[in-house]
Every structure is written in C-alpha cells, then in structure tokens.
Amino acid sequence: MHLVFAYIDPGAGSLVIQAIIAGLVSIPFFFRNAIRSTIGRFRHKPTDGASAATGRSAPDEKGAASTDSE
Amino acid sequence: MTERPAAEREPGSYRDPSGFVFRRDGVLYRQINASFADDWAAFESSGLHQALVREGLLIADAPASLELAPEPGAVAVIQPDEIGFVSHPFEWSFSQLKDAALLTLRAQSLAAEHGMTLRDASAYNVQFSDGKAILIDTLSFERAAGDQPWKPYRQFCENFLAPLALMAHRDGRLGQLLRTWIDGVPLDLASELLPRSTRYFAPGLAAHIHLHARAQRQHAGSSGPDGAPSGTSRAVTMSEGRRLALLDHLRRTVEGLHLPAHGTVWADYADQTSYSKAGTASKESIVKHMLKAIASDGGRRAWDVGANTGRYSRIAADAGFWVLALDIDWAAVERHYLTLRSSGETRVTPLLADIAEPSPAIGWENTERASLIDRANADVVIALALVHHLAIGRNVPLPMISRLMARLSPNLIVEWIPKDDPMVQRLLAAREDIFADYSPEAFLAAFHTDFEILEEAPIEDSGRVLFRMRRHQ
C-alpha cells in the first residue's frame, strides 16, 4: 500500500479518475504503438541503398520513434 | 553576522519545502534542502538535468557556493540563468499557454525516460525566454515510484487544459480566469462554462475536464490515512504503461485545441491604419533613429506598449533591444506570437496587458506574483498611437499618462496624434467630445512636468508628431 507523497494536493477524485481514464486510453495507446512498431519493422526492410536513394525513410522512422516515446 | 549581502527570499517561493529561490546582491539563487537531497542527487546522476538543459526545456544553472545558503539545512545552492521578464500565465495568449502545456508534457516524457517524474505542473513554472517557453523550476523533478499515479494531473488540468479548452471552445478572453484563480481554473467551473457538446464530442475534454470535475465532487472531503481516496479501499496505483498512455492522451487533447479562426478589431488594425506609404516609411525611419540614440546611451530593454502585431517591436529588436511587446487585445498578441514563432525571432516577447488597467499583484499577501508596474524594467517605453486611446478612449487626463510613462522607464518615444486625425475622430464618432484639453499645447505641458523633450519629429503626410523624451533626474 502506498502513500502518495506530494507537496501539492493531488486531489482524491483526481487520483481515482486518472487511473480510470489511463486504463481506458491505454488500450488504443498500446494498439497504436503496436501498429507503429510493425510498420517500422517493415520500413526497415529496404536495403540501406534504397533508403539512401529516397532519402526519406530513415528520418520518417526517427520521427515515429520519437513520437512513441512521448 | 557575516559580511555577505543579506539574502532576500523571492515572495513567490514558499510552497515547496524542498528548496526556495532567493536573491543576494541582486543575483538569483536557489537553495536545495536536505529533505530533497536524494531526489536532487538522482536528478543529477540520471542525466535528466543535463538532458533538459541541453534540449532547451529547462533554464540552465551553475553550481554556487553552499555558503550562500540563507537558511540551515541546505545541501546545494545553484545560480539559475535570469529571465528577461517574469510574466504571468494570464498575460499569455492561447498559443503561449498551449506551448507552455506541451513543454510541461515533453519535460515529463523526458523525465520518464530517465526514471524521474514531474512533481508539479504549475503554469508559473514556465516562462518565456529567447522566444520560447522554458521551465524555470529546477526542483520540479523527483524519482518516479513504479506504480504511482501522475501526481500533478489535477494541477495540469487546472493550470493548462481547462483555460485552453475554454479559450478554444468558448472565448479567447477566458484565459483571464487565471488572474482570479492563481492555482488554476476550478474544473467544476470549466465544466460548467464549456459548451455541452464537449461532453459528448470531445473525448479528451469529456474525460479530463467533465468526468474529472465529477470525480472531484464525488471524492470531495477526505482521503484516508493510507492515502486512499475516500470511497476506495486501497491507494490508487497505476502501471508505468498506463501513466504513459495517460500523458499521451493529455498531449493529444492539448494538441487538438485550436482557436476559432476569426480576428478582432485589433488584430486587423495594423493593416488598416490611416498612414500613407510615405507616412509609414517616415514613421519607421524616425522611430529607428530615436531608438538608435537611446541604444547608444546604453539602452537595452524596450517596452512597446500597444504593440499590436509588432511592427515597431521588430524595429526595436533590429536596433539591438530586447523587447516586451504589450497589447490589450488577445488576438493581436496571439497573431504576434505566432508570427515570431514562425520567423524564429527571439528578441521579442509578446504579452497580453492593458496599460490602463495593468496586471495587479496577486497571491499571498499580494506579493506572490508582482504587478505589471512593479515588474517595469525598460530602458525605453515606445508609445506609438497610444496616447489618444488612453486620453480619449479611456478618459485618462494627459498629466496622468505622462506620470505613468515616467514610472515605467527613463526614456520615452511617444507619438502625438492630433484631434482631427481620422483615428481620433473614429474614437469620437459615437460620443460627446468632452476633451477640450486634448491639444498639442496641453500634451507638451503635461509631459514637460516629467520629461525633458530631446527630439521632436513630424511624421510626413500626417499631422502626427514623434517625440523622444528623457525623464527628469
């Protein structure tokens, strides 16, 4: 069992509702991330030569990865 | 006592027992208390401190001597970089508040990557410096406990999400609610004021504002001794994954908020002044010349009062000034901020302020957040096309306008607009002309009381005149 130590008042109702909301939004969140990482894996497939030629796929993946981590 | 200059604690720095901000000899420092030692050590050793500063999310600081600590129990003293002007969240436009919100979430995400978390999410922890939002509270981060909820969730919703939602869905002026509620807009009020449609068709707002407000009402009262909210049998826990999902959802909700696309009288004003091309060129070159004279006297900070969308603020910036661009109209400030942000101009900070009714001092003992006038730090005030709005639009006698200008700054560039000017006539269109004293003679007599007039330059193609003045010693 945990005490919530905070110098600000996190609010009893705010703690409860955020757990409920987090539970709900985590479903699409993980689903989205799963799709993204799958797409990411497919994008990795072309050879280095191909991605260098388009010059696009590498930065795109970087962008997707950094969005994931946010 | 020692010979060190006395330390003065910043009046707004009293809520957090882990440390506080103080000044010694005019220099800003932060004391970190022993109770926070472990979290401070983790902040350093996790690399988060450096990462935040490197990414420009947190104000840089330098370690300072522990001897500077004014109170016992210090484990460290740091000297943070100074911000050019400390603004309050109700002085920001919609996009400024939105950028501050996204900065807070980005900092939380970076913290999570380092095993740390934000411990508060007050909008007052954000300031605008070099053209962008930056966190100024170096003590906002602590070690993340694996299964705890996000403690600043409520504070984030009240400080950022509620005012942003109200501005986007109701009216851009509702950011002013933050002036009354220093700790953020109460969620029950936000829920009440938001359009009904946001309960059903805006999932982010339905969850984080409407349901949140309802939960607050249901759990109002107490939390048990074990930290369990009343009505629940155990403390709330939350996995890291769910915490990430919650923060991702908050970010999406904030990013999804936009102001409705319509201007106000003021935001269109710059495009429809009464100047001819020659008049504009003449005014610009005179202002430039006057600013250069003040800059060569050592002037560095300018306040452009009534800046509108910032035409002359940019001229001041080009003349080497750091500029605070104040305007009464939220849409003009919004437009100015967006223009600066897209152009990469970092020397101008636009803020929402009414010089005829400046931001008051608010908070504890009326000292926690200083009034606009107490924050005056300009070397020059630029008051173009302003005096007639104050004298005729707001009925302020000319000597009082002069006195205010003299309080704000030692130098003044001011424009006199005669009564027969179309812009003055517009102000008088629907009202009785009770302004017999609005004359060039009365203007000069009033300003002579407080200022020495150094330059006087008529603007071509108009009856307007620009003056450069210096406050009497």
**CATH number for the domain that contains residue B202:** 1.10.510
B264 occurs within a structural domain:
no
- In DSSP terms, B23 is beta-bridged to B8, B28
For B137-180, how does the pLDDT look when each residue is reduced to its tens digit (9 = 90+)? 999 999 998 889 999 999 999 999 999 999 999 999 999 999 99
Contacts with B106 from chain A: Cβ below 8 Å = 70
Comparing alpha-carbon positions, the chain B residue that sits nearest to A14 is: B154
Are B118 and B149 members of one domain? yes
Residue B98 lies in a domain: yes
Confidence of residue B38 (pLDDT cuts 50, 70, 90): very high
Is A22 within 8 Å of B212 when comparing Cβ atoms? Answer: no
Give pLDDT, residue A68: 37
Instruction: Give B99→chain A minimum CA distance, Å.
Output: 15
| Residue at B2 is within a domain | no
Instruction: Report the percentage of chain B scoring pLDDT > 90.
Output: 86
Q: Which of B220, B255, B290 is the last residue of a domain?
A: B255
When pLDDT is averaged across residues A53-65 and rounded to a whole number, the result is 37
- The Cα–Cα gap between B79 and B92 comes to 26
Look up the domain containing B61 and give its range: 7-43+55-80
Statement: residue A54 has pLDDT above 50: no
pLDDT band, residue B122 (cuts 50/70/90): very high
Confirm whether B72 is domain-assigned. yes
Last residue of a domain, one of B187, B222, B255: B255
| Sheet of strand B74-80: strand arrangement | B7-9, B19-24, B27-33, B74-80, B61-64
Q: What's the whole-model pTM score?
A: 0.90
Same structural domain for residues B328 and B201?
no
Residues B282 and B213 in one domain: no
Quote the percentage of chain B above a pLDDT of 70: 94
Do B61 and B105 lie in one domain? The reply is: no
Which residues of chain B have a CB within 8 Å of the CB of A26?
241-242, 245-246
H or E element in which residue B309 lies: none
Tell me the mean pLDDT in the region B430-458. 95
The CATH code of the domain that includes B409 is: 3.40.50.150
HSE toward the beta carbon, residue B250, CA cutoff 13 A: 34
Q: Is residue B31 part of a domain?
A: yes
Cα B468 to chain centroid, rounded: 28
Residues with Cβ within 8 Å of residue B231, at least 6 apart in sequence? A16, B218, B219
Domain boundary (B224, B255, B286) is at B255
Shared domain check, B136 and B19: no
* Residues B67 and B96 both lie in one domain: no
**B242 and B305 share a domain?**
no
With respect to residue B263, please indicate whether it lies within any of the assigned structural domains.
no
Q: Would residue B354 count as lying in a domain?
A: yes
B218–A contact, CB cutoff 8 A: yes
Looking at the structure, tell me whether residues B237 and B94 fall in a common domain. yes
Amino acid B5: pLDDT: 75
The full DSSP string for B198-221 is HHHS-HHHIIIIIIHHHHHHHT-S
Do the strands B126-129 and B74-80 form a parallel or antiparallel pair, or are they unpaired? unpaired
Q: How many CB pairs under 8 A join A and B?
A: 132
**Does B160 share its domain with B225?**
yes
Q: Is B239 in the same domain as B113?
A: yes
Q: Is the pLDDT of residue A16 over 80?
A: yes
Mean pLDDT, rounded, for B111-130: 96
Residue B369 lies in a domain: yes
**Quick one: B209 and B109 in the same domain?**
yes
* B153 → closest Cβ in A10, A29, A30: A10
Which helix or strand (DSSP H or E) is residue B177 part of? Answer: helix B177-180
> How far B231 CA sits from the closest chain A CA (Å)?
10
Q: What's the distance, Cα to Cα, between the start and end of chain A in Å? A: 29
Residues B237 and B284 in one domain: no
Place A7 in a pLDDT band, splitting at 50, 70 and 90.
confident
Number of Cβ within a 10 Å radius of residue A54: 10
**Contact between A16 and B232 using a beta-carbon 8 Å cutoff:** yes
The total domain count for chain B is 3
